[in-house]
Amino acid sequence: MLPFTTCFVAGLQYLIHPLKLGTIQETINPDALIPITLLSTEEIFGDLEGILQLFDSIDDVFVPDFGSILVEKSGDNNSQVRVDTRQIYHMDQIKALDGFSELPSGPYFLYGPNLYQAWRLYDDEFGAFTSGVIPDDLNQPDEFQPLTSSSVYGDSVAVPVPSRLYHPQASAKKPLSGIRVSVSDTISLKGTYTTFSSRAWKSLYRNASTSTAKYAQNLMEQGAVIVGKTITSHLGTGAEWVDQRAPWSARGDGYQSMKGGSVGAAAASVGYPWIDYSIGVDDGRVMSEGGIYSLSQPENLSTDIATASKFDKTRIFSRSLKGLLDFTANPKTGTSEASSPRIIVPDDLSLPEKSQKTAIATFVSILQDLLDTKAEYINVGKIWEESPPSEASREGMQAYMEKAPFRSWCYDYYHSFDTFRDEYKHKFDKKPFIEATPQFFWNECKSVTEEENRQDTERLGVYRKWFFENIMHNSTPNAKGDAVVILPCGNTQVEHRNDPVAPPTIYKGIDSTTLAPILGASVLSFPFTQVPYESDISGETEYQPVCISVLVNGNENSTIQLIKKALETGHIPTKVDVGRFTFPVKKSDHVSNQVQAPLSGQNISDEL
């Protein structure tokens, strides 16, 4: 790949993409690097000021300084022309881009006589990224080059984003056209590196990836622009952040701790308005951030994604439910209507905090009114006792499943890194450094035998079959289709990054955090409200989001539509803000000590 050139325009840093798109007719200083705006003849001699103002309002890459010099796309006149005080040049040779009959209007750079795309560089101030990435080709990217230290202050990663004007409108063929997406550090991109937030991993695997993961390739085929790779926790489970600095949360007082395998993806989504979606990879048990919409997808991951265990799934983060709807829409099948499923609330799988109980009760009430059906508050363990699977031999549910969930995950987690441990030992003649939490799990897991794992896997299969037959598929008046299971998610207790890290523990049996991974089901998580707390760090009243999870069995898009409709019916926002507050807060709310419900009637629109 060609070397990059960066520059500043109006105090903002830009990268000039090295692929030449065309040349101008005129002779120009070969050393000049000039920001220009490319326009059609009609745009130049029409409402020029209106066009430039529109670009400035809808595109974060364009700034008015690009409008000082204009380039006409197809001018017959090779003489220089002026409009007002602006100088106009004319295009000669042009490289076509997918979806356009000509180069799209927008901001570009002239370097000598040659035309290049302008990519704005954003500083990764929250430490969410391992690197920004630049594709080698603008039509069909094959290889990427990582950017790791191009920030203005030199202390963070720089993430490049192209102009939103460079891409055609979304279509059935390209439903994600121009959408900016980050992917997890563990998702392979040709030319980039996987780090797993481990110095030992990086020192062993020093060669760049030679292929791009099918998942990432599919995103690009749908028109998405991958702009960077986000941090994961140390080997997928670490909590101590020894080898890598933890991402910063934009929420609350800015010092809340973030956890889980998708921690970088969550930090990017709540911190940066210039990213549209973030894709994380995690096993679903630990919620990285409650103040964002996320959807874990049940499909098994391909081998070109580095996983910590077989339970790892991709998780999509978006700042709106509409965003998740757009991302999961299948143009081949069209948009399906939201059904009227049963509403199930398991009483015995969690001990939610008071604010979580209140949020769930309010949400369930809204769903009941919308669907004209009654929610079923059930005790899953009692239903098991009344109708147990034959394999359980009269054991209670928690007794039968006491060891299987943890040991099955732990066995796979330990052996997923067999090759890493062996190769590191062979190359460096010592053990790799492992943070305390993953090392604890490895110590617990290495004694689990293959036979024990086989038995545990069988028990998971028994439970999965029993749950779908006895919980999900029972019929209820007025309900159609399968059930939605309502669960609490995340932690309403505020934890800060300067607090001591809680020691890892072994979890037992079935609870709200292990249910979806065991069932292999999707989980939609969404913030419902926010509660105030007094921060010793900021000295102000801050707000902690309270989120709810819905276990999705069946059509993800239909479930998202249902939840979106329910929230709108209850005047609950279906999009969140970037930064300190999940939802808007009135000044008077800062002195309230009650649960701060989202402002009724405000922020209901969820356009991206």
Contact 495, 526 (CB under 8 A): no
From CA 142, how far away is CA 153, in angstroms rounded?
Answer: 31
Instruction: Tell me the one-letter amino acid at 564.
Output: K
Rounded to two decimals, the pTM is 0.93
Q: How confident is the model at residue 331 (pLDDT cuts 50, 70, 90)?
A: low
- Cα–Cα distance, 281 to 285 (Å, whole number): 12
Check pLDDT > 80 for residue 311.
yes
505, burial (CB in 10 Å: exposed 0-12, middle 13-18, buried 19+) = exposed
Residue 601 parent element (H or E): none
Q: How large is the average pLDDT for residues 446-470? A: 96
**Buried-state track 174-188, b at ≥16 Cβ within 10 A, e below 16:** bbbbbbbbbbbbbbb
The number of C-alpha atoms within 13 Å of 288 and in the hemisphere containing its C-beta is 38
Buried b (16+ CB within 10 A) or exposed e, 269-282: bbbbeebbbbbbbb
Where is 528: in which H helix or E strand?
A: strand 522-534
Return the pLDDT at 605.
43
Range with the lowest mean pLDDT among 18-27, 305-314, 419-428, 564-573?
A: 18-27
- To the nearest whole percent, how much of the chain has pLDDT over 90? 76
Phi-psi region of 285 (alpha: psi -120 to 50; beta: other; left: phi over 0): alpha
* 8 Å CB contact between 517 and 461: no
pLDDT at res. 394: 87
The tens digit of pLDDT for each residue in 375-394 reads 999 999 999 999 999 999 88
* Section 11-32 average pLDDT: 87
Q: pLDDT tens digit string along 47-97?
A: 999 999 999 999 999 999 999 999 998 755 554 556 666 888 888 767 666
143 vs 191: CA distance, rounded Å: 6
pLDDT greater than 90 at residue 29: no
Tens of pLDDT, residues 191-223: 999 999 999 999 999 999 999 999 999 999 999
The residue among 203, 259, 257, 273 whose CA lies nearest residue 231 is 259
Could you give the CA distance from residue 135 to residue 117 in angstroms, rounded to a whole number?
Answer: 12
**Which pLDDT value is given to residue 290?**
82
Alpha carbon distance 350, 289 (integer Å) = 19
CB 185 within 8 A of CB 146: no
Say how far apart CA 487 and CA 360 lie, in whole Å.
8
Which one, of 560, 563, 532, 564, lies nearest residue 545 by Cα?
532
